[in-house]
């Protein structure tokens, strides 16, 4: 079992990674001396696949356990599902403060974390991510939230968990597209901070798709470590440190928004395209070598991520990009790679240059 200690000024917690890590939940709960009811929030897919495994993992808990399942899609991050879930928790726990255990992908993690941040002005939460994307990204860092029709994640709060428990056993059931989705973020970590991870992926990516436990554990550890160390320095995303995690996300978000979130390109696929576009900008600005640019492109391709968005219009992507919230004083901001393992933040990238790289990776449709 691998462990990362996250040290925030007012609290510390562990990220525990490995096969069978779910059994550590009871130790975390007894470690904080929590004796009240435990509410396990999951989604219907995860419950159908892992209901027995989860029950077994929680068998040694002396606490009363209440299971709640939410829909297995972004729809669960709605005000309606938020309210329905909170009401079920209120009815089931009455006067007792519960502890929430979120077992699922980023959707379950974001919804459950937001419930934990707000129910009774805050109750403890343990994050148990079951997708690669959630394991390397959304479960770490304390950002939680739900969507409204106007935009994703518009309502939210920071809520740090008591622990993040990443059990690689869950990842075994992931469909290939979900692995590819997570690989978008994994490659991002290699490019922004860890050339060793990038090299490891260049040589061992097949092991991830073979669902090799050791490969999962290595990749999850390296990525979680980067995210944890960045979050330690900038817990509330207020110091311009977390921004490097946005590599590939400025134009990636535009691709994701232009494709309508659910039925087009998923987050990882969009970030993959966004990373290619950012690398294209860096290449043209002369701050990234052709060789490193091509290494990024090759790895993105070998991860099964698209090199070209064939179903989108350039205008739509450019429109979505203009609405991006990350403009500062009217200037756009990009995280651009300067080598494998290093990025810089540049402001005021010319619109023509942006359009040129978008054109390269988006095929216009009539």
Ligand X SMILES: NC(=O)c1ccc[n+]([C@@H]2O[C@H](COP(=O)([O-])OP(=O)(O)OC[C@H]3O[C@@H](n4cnc5c(N)ncnc54)[C@H](O)[C@@H]3O)[C@@H](O)[C@H]2O)c1
Q: Which residues neighbour 1 within 8 Å (Cβ) at sequence distance 6 or greater?
A: 16, 17, 18, 21, 24
Q: Does 49 bind ligand X (CB under 6 A)?
A: yes
Using CB under 6 A, which of 104, 184, 190, 304 touches ligand X? 104
With contacts defined by CB under 6 A, how many residues of the chain interact with ligand X?
31
Least gap, CB of 50 to ligand X (angstroms): 7
Q: Does 270 bind ligand X (CB under 6 A)?
A: no
By CB under 6 A, is residue 181 in contact with ligand X?
yes
Under the criterion CB under 6 A, does residue 133 sit at the interface with ligand X? yes
CB of 319 to ligand X, least distance (A): 21
Query: Rounded to the nearest 10 degrees, what angle do helices 249-258 and 267-284 cross at?
Result: 130
150 is written with which tokens? 């106007």
Among 105, 124, 161, 274, binds ligand X (CB under 6 A): 105
198: enclosing H helix or E strand: helix 195-209
Is 72 near ligand X (CB under 6 A)? yes
170 binds ligand X, rule: CB under 6 A: yes
Nearer to ligand X, 14 or 256 (CB): 256
Which position among 107, 126, 230, 281 is part of the footprint of ligand X (CB under 6 A)? 107
Cα-Cα-Cα-Cα dihedral sign, residues 72, 267, 145, 9:
positive
Whose CA is closest to 255, among 263, 247, 264, 243?
A: 264
Of 34 and 114, nearer to ligand X (C-beta) is 114
- For residue 363, give the DSSP letter: -
* Closer residue to ligand X, CB minimum distance, 43 or 235: 43
Piece of 8-16, 168-176, 290-298, 303-311 that binds ligand X (CB under 6 A): 168-176
Nearer to ligand X, 268 or 341 (CB): 268
In the stretch 183-222, what mask flags binding to ligand X with x, by CB under 6 A? ----------------------------------------
Of 144-163, which residues contact ligand X (CB under 6 A)?
152-153
With respect to ligand X, which residue has the nearer C-beta, 105 or 161?
Answer: 105
For position 173 contacting ligand X by CB under 6 A, the verdict is yes
Phi, psi for residue 270 in degrees, rounded to 5: -65, -40
Q: Can you list the pairs that 338-342 forms with residues at least 24 positions away whose Cβ atoms lie under 8 Å?
A: 338/282, 338/287, 338/288, 339/195, 339/288, 339/289, 339/292, 340/190, 340/191, 340/195, 340/198, 340/292, 340/295, 340/296, 341/190, 341/191, 341/192, 341/193, 341/194, 341/195, 341/198, 342/192, 342/193
Nearest residue (CB) to ligand X, 106 versus 304 = 106
* Rounded Cα distance, 160 and 10, in Å: 10
Strand partners, 362: 309
In contact, 232 and 6? CB cutoff 8 Å: yes
Q: Which spans of this chain sit near ligand X (rule: CB under 6 A)?
A: 43, 45-46, 49, 72-74, 77, 104-108, 110, 130-131, 133-134, 137-138, 141, 143, 152-153, 170-171, 173-174, 178, 181, 267
């Amino acid at each position: 079992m691998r462990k990362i200690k996250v040290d925030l000024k007012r609290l510390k917690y562990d990220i525990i990674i490995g096969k069978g890590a779910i059994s550590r939940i009871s130790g975390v709960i007894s470690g904080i001396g929590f004796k009240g009811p435990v509410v396990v929030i999951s989604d219907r897919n995860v419950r159908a696949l892992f209901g027995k495994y989860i029950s077994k993992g929680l068998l040694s808990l002396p606490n009363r356990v209440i299971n709640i399942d939410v829909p297995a899609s972004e729809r669960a991050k709605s005000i309606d599902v938020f309210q329905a879930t909170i009401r079920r928790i209120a009815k089931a726990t009455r006067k007792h403060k519960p502890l929430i255990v979120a077992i699922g992908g980023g959707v379950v993690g974001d919804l459950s974390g937001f419930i934990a941040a707000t129910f009774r002005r805050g109750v403890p939460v343990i994050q148990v991510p079951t997708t690669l994307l959630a394991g390397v990204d959304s479960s770490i860092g304390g950002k939680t939230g739900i969507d409204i029709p106007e935009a994703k994640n518009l309502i939210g709060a920071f809520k740090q968990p008591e622990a993040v428990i990443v059990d690689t056993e869950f990842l075994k059931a992931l469909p290939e597209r979900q692995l590819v989705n997570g690989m978008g973020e994994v490659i991002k970590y290699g490019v922004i901070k860890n050339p060793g991870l990038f090299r490891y992926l260049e040589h061992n990516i097949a092991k991830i798709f073979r669902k090799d436990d050791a490969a999962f554990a290595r990749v999850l550890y390296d990525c979680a470590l980067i995210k944890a160390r960045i979050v330690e320095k900038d817990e509330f995303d207020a110091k311009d440190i977390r921004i490097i995690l946005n590599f590939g996300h400025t134009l990636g978000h535009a691709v994701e928004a232009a494709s309508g979130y659910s039925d087009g390109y998923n987050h990882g696929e969009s970030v993959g395209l966004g990373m290619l576009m950012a690398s294209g900008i860096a290449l043209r600005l002369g701050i990234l070598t052709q060789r490193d640019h091509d290494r990024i492109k090759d790895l993105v391709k070998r991860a099964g991520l698209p090199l070209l968005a064939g179903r989108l219009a350039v205008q739509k992507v450019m429109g979505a990009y203009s609405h991006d919230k990350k403009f500062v004083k009217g200037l756009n901001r990009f995280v651009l790679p300067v080598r494998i393992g290093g990025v810089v933040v540049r402001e005021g990238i010319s619109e023509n240059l942006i359009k040129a790289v978008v054109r390269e990776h988006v095929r216009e449709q009539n």
